[in-house]
Amino acid sequence: MRDIFFCVINLAMKGYLTTKETAERLNVVPSRVRRMILDGVIKAEKVGRDNFILESEVKRLESIERKPGRPTKEDKAN
């Protein structure tokens, strides 16, 4: 348990964000961030039960223009 604690602190100092912090930056809920990680949209490091996302990865996602709401059937087909 102690090793995981120090690993988490180490990641935080190296420019990683938690799932919650990433969700706040992207204006989505944390469960959406976890789904994006599972879908391969966001690259993350898993430590214990938590995911840590590089700040550069969050900046990449912030630069992508996204439409609000659910994708239409045409968007899903492309």
pLDDT tens by residue, 29-40: 999 999 999 999
| Start-end of H helices in 1-78 | 2-13, 19-26, 30-38, 55-63, 73-77
Domains of the chain (ranges, CATH numbers): 2-77 (1.10.1660)
The three-state secondary structure class of 68 is coil
Entry pTM: 0.71
d(CA 48, CA 4): 7
pLDDT for residue 72 is more than 90:
no
CB under 8 Å to 34, separation ≥6 — which residues?
Answer: 19, 51
CA–CA distances in Å: residue 24 to residues 53, 67, 72: 13, 17, 25
* 17 strand-pairing partners: 53
